[in-house]
Structure 1
Amino acid sequence: MQYTKLAHTNLNVSKVCLGTMTYGDQNTEEEAHAQLDYAMARGINFIDTAEMYPVPPKADTYTRTESMVGTWLKKQPRDQIVLAGKVSGPRRGLDWIRGGPPSLDRANIRAAIEGSLQRLQTDYIDLYQLHWPERNVPMFGQYQFDPAGEFESGVYQQGEERAWVSIQNQLETLAELVQEGKVRYVGLSNEQPWGVMEFVRIAKAYNLPHIASVQNCYNLINRGMEFGMAEVLYREQVGLLAYSPLAFGHLTAKYIDNPEAKGRVTMFLGYAQRYKKPGVFPASAAYAKLARAHGLTPTQLALSFVYHRWFVTSTIIGATTMQQLKENIDAWDTKLAPEVLQEIEHLHLTMMNPAP
């Protein structure tokens, strides 16, 4: 496994990060611990979780993931693990999370960190991320910004944009957590270029914590990061933690080979609207055909592409079986030949970003 320094931190993180959002729904605690042990044995020292997990979010499973990670974490050498967590934002219809939550204000962020630390059975989180912006932005499969309307619980609402806690106030609360030792570094998730630049600008102007990373979707059928964000990350020295590299399993080709294959797409109908768009299946089939023509599995092609992009700091993988986890980690050693990368670019230009 290869390691790299997360920007603006002293954290050396593995280039592959283990995601945990299946723990507590698709995976039992025993299975979760087995995955964590195996990942550590393979050199992965970077673990990502969130108070909202498991996914899809439900009132009766909320917080299970952190609790399962916590029972494992308390038995580990804490200083050898880089633990990333997230505070849930408002406006997603998750009324069981702190009563909404109504905002990313000081009270909500502080309540979230206290709950997470208790469940994770640790004194601190290495990288604490805002799970999604409070302000009106397109995310989770939405792809058009409209200042005259916003999505609330997946339903489009017309009207004026509602007030939101300023980025400066959010950073000031995060700074308190850093000063108290509850958080070491801070990051963003599901952000847009304007948001990243504002967090960076305000941090510099008011001597507040610099954003270390942004955790956004990036894969063969969602390469929106390349249009504007990649330059921001490079010039402002912000790391990218790429999630969903296999596009909810679409890029493994299992749904191409068998539309009824067991997985998140067939188990949680109506979830993950990003991958319900009409171009997803044709593009997934084209990438699978390309992989097999070069003696690769579709999984190897998809993961290697993301793993080795110059602007990706670490790639977050997830699995429900140990076989999947092994294949995902093994794919790190696959390097795509120049001709394969050229063919990927041809497909990309032919069917660009079908899953924004």
Structure 2
Amino acid sequence: MHWPQRQTNYFGKLNYQYTDDKATVTLLETLEALTEQVRAGKIRYIGVSNETPWGVMRYLQLAEKHELPRIVSIQNPYSLLNRSFEIALAEISQHEGVELLAYSSLAFGTLSGKYLNGAKPAGARNTLFTRFNRYSAPQTQLAIAEYVALAKKHGLDPSQMALAFVRQQPFVASTLLGATTLEQLKTNIDSFDLVLDEDVLQGLEEIHTRFTIPAP
């Protein structure tokens, strides 16, 4: 399921605003429909995307109560700039076996540092699609600059450091990659051979303490 039908926190928001709008299809109806597809052999496993802690636990509760298949994965954004998954969903992931398929782990490529100081590389995503300004806030840019500086201090590629950080989290099953060139794809793939040491991880935490979730 790509997106909850009910009102939830969406991109750029951390606070929850309740509304009386009711979903036209309940979570149970959704799970029952997906169960039919599993039993028909059309899908193997059920996963959710852009879901909240309440939504994940509710799906698990319904699966147990009605003897339906459990969800096994959650596809949510997770990066050095957006670690909101850690607030509650990481614990659920660990204890319930609903692992994260992380996306936007390079934050539209901004964690490569290529957009710093107002740079607009030709053919780059944020150059072509100027309405994508989610990572352009001043605090976000300051955080990116610090992460890039940390990578260079340790002789690391900023993109590879950002991807390695995500991959090393115990609740992450896989990292979804995006690239517009073969060179970018190779850089991203090579990050899976990188293991960040304690000095780098400590540096990342220090930056995170100063710039906590600057781009939810």
Question: Shared topology, TM-score over 0.5?
Answer: yes
Residues 278, 354 of structure 1: 8 Å contact kept? no
Find the counterpart in structure 1 of residue 128 from structure 2.
267
Structure with the bigger RCO (C-alpha within 8 Å, sep 6+) is 2
Residues 141, 275 of structure 1: 8 Å contact kept? no
Find the counterpart in structure 2 of residue 291 from structure 1.
151
Residue by residue over 1:209-237, the C-alpha shift from the partner in whole angstroms, topping out at 9 and shown as x without a partner, is 10010000000010011111111111111
**Letter of the aligned partner of 2:7 in structure 1?**
N
Measured in 2, the distance between the counterparts of 1:162 and 1:259 equals 44
SS of residue paired to 2:173: strand
Measured in 2, the distance between the counterparts of 1:230 and 1:215 equals 12
Measured in 1, the distance between the counterparts of 2:167 and 2:157 equals 15
**Letter of the aligned partner of 1:264 in structure 2?**
R
Measured in 1, the distance between the counterparts of 2:137 and 2:65 equals 41
* Alignment gaps of 5+ in structure 2: none
Find the counterpart in structure 2 of residue 63 from structure 1.
none
How do 1:157-306 and structure 2 match up within 5 A? Answer: 160-256=20-116, 259-262=119-122, 263-271=124-132, 274-306=134-166
- TM-score normalised to the size of structure 1? 0.59
The structure richer in strand per residue is: 1
- TM-score normalised to the size of structure 2? 0.95
SS of residue paired to 1:183: coil
* Alignment gaps of 5+ in structure 1: 1-129, 149-159
Alpha-carbon distance, 1:197 to partner: 0.3
Residue by residue over 1:120-174, the C-alpha shift from the partner in whole angstroms, topping out at 9 and shown as x without a partner, is xxxxxxxxxx0110010012223321014xxxxxxxxxxx324431110000000
RMSD over aligned CA atoms reads: 1.3
Residue by residue over 1:285-304, the C-alpha shift from the partner in whole angstroms, topping out at 9 and shown as x without a partner, is 01000100111111121111
**Letter of the aligned partner of 1:270 in structure 2?**
R
**Letter of the aligned partner of 2:30 in structure 1?**
Q
Identity %: 46
SS of residue paired to 1:314: strand
Find the counterpart in structure 1 of residue 200 from structure 2.
340
Find the counterpart in structure 2 of residue 46 from structure 1.
none
Measured in 2, the distance between the counterparts of 1:349 and 1:315 equals 24
Measured in 1, the distance between the counterparts of 2:202 and 2:191 equals 19
Residues 142, 274 of structure 1: 8 Å contact kept? no
Residues 83, 213 of structure 2: 8 Å contact kept? yes
SS of residue paired to 1:280: helix
The structure richer in helix per residue is: 2
Find the counterpart in structure 2 of residue 139 from structure 1.
10
SS of residue paired to 2:45: strand
Alpha-carbon distance, 1:257 to partner: 5.9
**Letter of the aligned partner of 1:229 in structure 2?**
L
Q: 1:299 to 1:257 in 2, by over 3 A?
A: farther
Q: 1:199 to 1:275 in 2, by over 3 A?
A: same
Residues 300, 334 of structure 1: 8 Å contact kept? yes
Q: How many residues were matched structurally?
A: 215
Residues 120, 126 of structure 2: 8 Å contact kept? no
Measured in 1, the distance between the counterparts of 2:186 and 2:23 equals 46
Measured in 2, the distance between the counterparts of 1:346 and 1:207 equals 45
Alpha-carbon distance, 1:258 to partner: 5.6
Alpha-carbon distance, 1:311 to partner: 1.1
SS of residue paired to 1:309: coil
Measured in 2, the distance between the counterparts of 1:162 and 1:168 equals 14
Find the counterpart in structure 2 of residue 355 from structure 1.
215
Structure 1's consecutive aligned runs of 4 or more residues displaced over 4 angstroms after TM superposition are none
Measured in 2, the distance between the counterparts of 1:277 and 1:195 equals 29
Residues 167, 175 of structure 2: 8 Å contact kept? yes
